[in-house]
A and B are shown apart, each in its own frame.
Chain A
Amino acid sequence: MNGSIRPGIFSRYFSREWRGHFVSTLRYALHVIVHPFDGFWDLTRECRGSMQAANFIVFLVMLTRVLQLQYTSFLFMRVNWARINVFTECLSILLPIGIWCLANWSLTTLFEGKGRMRDIYIGTAYAMTPLVLIQLPLILLSNVITVEEGAFHAVLSSISLLWSGLLLICAMMMIHDYSLGKTLAFMVMSAFGMLVIIFIMLIFFSLISDGIAYFVSLYKELSFRLY
């Protein structure tokens, strides 16, 4: 029992250098979205991005989605609240990102891709920055425009998607050091890879649940016989 305080799990988040690193890597996202080629090259190779900042961006994307559901004017988004589950909404963002990273890494690692799983995740997360930057203010905008002015909303919304899509292509090119054609080909293949992973996951879950059901029914049968 010496008087020293045991370092808590979260104590590192309060240290000055951790915060400085986090803020500077997060601010780097604003540089990446306008200088995608240099930006994504330096993002992982020069360690200008960080895992923490990537996590934070993904969190912001989920937050944007939830805020959109709640606060977008009903003119532009109809939400059937009886059928909305916030956790499902968050998972519908998290799961595709996770599966995407897995599928992309599995493929590119076999074909001279330079990126590690961690690089792919950070690149993907940073590429989603425009989604947050545009969609979040769009929530406010949607509440001050009418249906006739809805074109602004639609155009800005599509710009954010397009921008993010282009950034994702750049990110993959730079992280794996691929040519444009090879990047596009591998992105399409990754999409197929995602489908395969989902398919295997479904089979896996149905097998497991069948297996559990077998033992449950075995137990029930035995308990009826022996009772």
Chain B
Amino acid sequence: MQGKRLPVQPMQSRIRAAFLSVFLILTLILQAGAQVGYVPQYSYTYDYWGNPRSAPDAYRAVNVIYSADLGLEKPINNPSSLFVKGDRVYLCDSGNHRILQIRRDGGAFILERVIDSFTGGKGPNRFASPSDVFVTEEGDLFICDTENQRVLKLDQNLNLLLTITKPLDETFDQRLSFLPDRIVADVTGRAFVLVRNVNKGLVKFENDGRFTGFIGAMPVSFSISDQIWRLLSTRQQREQQASFVPTEYDNAYIDPKGFIYAVTTTFAEYDLIWDKAKPIRKLNAIGNDILVKNGEFPPIGDIDWGTAAGYSGPSKFSDITVLHNEVYVALDKTRGRLFGYDEQGRNLWIFGGSGNMTGFFRNAVSIEHIGYDLLVLDSLENSITLFEPTEYGRLIYEALERYQGGEYAQSAEIWNEVLKQNGNFELAYIGVGRALLREEKFEQAMQYFKLANDEDNYSKAFQEYRKAWVERNISWIFAVLFILLIVPMAAGRIRRIRKELAEG
């Protein structure tokens, strides 16, 4: 056997040499890449056909904050939620029954105070596994004190203002424990609480703590086939089919206009196909979903699921945050990815992943923003990752904001800059095309809309182009019509007359 393997040796060494050179070249490329801050295969978007296309990074992880960075004696344990008010970050450290108030100062994060108790009230004045915190404009704190089965409202100096406990209303299932999980509040002090195991939507409490019902439950719609199936099934089977239930939300965010963005992960995979699942919803005051969906795909996260790296199935959003320019960012806990959508529901960028490296997550549970910067909480790493937009990301935001502000020409200029960095970005083509359409450069606009597969805008541009073309060539059109219609008629008549003459 040895003798037989000998002739292979030179081949192997050649392969090794080849590998070495490839490795060296790769190292050089990667180093060059590192200098311009580019991590390959990190950010992407989906094209018209649903294929993932690599994109420049819109965000870069600039800092990861651990317990030690905050100078905590007791390390953070199983944190559940983040909240940001101004430059203050509130971190719900559920495992240690406390809330950390952190101030951001440039790139540094400084621990300001540890909230673990309050004054006033009759019950225990400590928290038990608090799972969420919300701070109002006045600085009052709403805290979901989950294990104590209550929601607390405290003022800035931690004096108890209000305690919300299980509503004794008959619409609220009295068999369930009251386990508040997430909370948002509007400017009037009305609180919307997500309660575990309650699937009627968000539980609404007035500012005096009065329970006033549920909002945001989607109406249960039976299809005809469901009806027939129910008719055919026995009573026991019908009772087991309790999976017709409406929504149980997983997280919520209230934007400055008072709309609640809610995410849900309780849906069947096949319901995503015709956008029946609606994993992201924008609820108005009466609880209707008014999320705009003008993208090629509805905002459902990943389009191409694949089965790579042991992850399969759809994206499941654990949290959502909405920037002041109405761009919303959803956090996917399946693959640890962040999905940015503009107010029209069109995907802007996707990045992130599962793993231990900076910018990757093991269990991403909560997302918040300070200005354009994003904060992501990882409950297994017990860390907060800070993302700052890159130049590319800033350009996208600027283009969107200028368009929202009516500065169409400037918006198009910025979209052109975006296109220099990412030629696969269909939204940028539409942006440029719209400006060209406004400048009445219809032919160029058509080109851009075609590249973006935007049929409606293309049609608008084409209609104008066609009108101009017809007006320009009207004499030719008539000339051709004349030749095609009049000349054969005249020729036929002449021939007939000649014939008659010849016969006559």
Interface of A toward B, CB cutoff 8 Å: 74-75, 78, 80, 82, 144, 146-148
Contacts and interface: CB of A to CB of B under 8 A. Distances in A.
Q: Considering residues A80, A82, A144, A147, which has the most beta carbons from chain B within 10 angstroms of its beta carbon? A: A147
Given A146-B459, A146-B460, 11 more contacts: A74-B450, A74-B453, A74-B455, A74-B458, A75-B458, A75-B459, A144-B466, A146-B462, A146-B463, A147-B456, A148-B459
B274 interface: no
A74 B462 CA distance: 12
B222 interface: no
Contacts of B466: 144, 146
Contacts of A78: 48, 453
A147 B455 contact: yes
A80 B49 contact: yes
A78 B450 CA distance: 11
A147 B455 CA distance: 7
B171 to A, nearest CB: 47
A187 B188 CA distance: 70
Nearest to A144: B466
20 contacts: A74-B450, A74-B453, A74-B455, A74-B458, A75-B455, A75-B458, A75-B459, A78-B48, A78-B453, A80-B49, A82-B49, A144-B466, A146-B459, A146-B460, A146-B462, A146-B463, A147-B455, A147-B456, A147-B458, A148-B459
Interface of B: 48-49, 450, 453, 455-456, 458-460, 462-463, 466
Contacts of A148: 459
A147 B446 CA distance: 13
Contacts of B462: 146
Contacts of A144: 466
Nearest to A78: B453
Contacts of A80: 49
A203 B466 CA distance: 54
B451 to A, nearest CB: 10
Contacts of B48: 78
A170 B236 CA distance: 55
A144 B455 CA distance: 14
Given A74-B450, A74-B453, A78-B453, A147 B49 contact: no
B502 to A, nearest CB: 31
B475 to A, nearest CB: 19
A35 to B, nearest CB: 26
Contacts of A146: 459-460, 462-463, 466
The 5 A-B residue pairs whose C-beta atoms are closest, nearest first, are A146-B459, A147-B459, A75-B455, A146-B463, A80-B49
A186 to B, nearest CB: 33
Which of A75, A78, A146, A148 has most chain B Cβ within 10 Å? A146
B457 to A, nearest CB: 10
Nearest to B48: A78
A74 B463 CA distance: 15
Interface centre among B450, B459, B466 (most CB of A within 10 A): B459
Contacts of B450: 74
A73 to B, nearest CB: 9
Nearest to B463: A146
Contacts of B463: 146
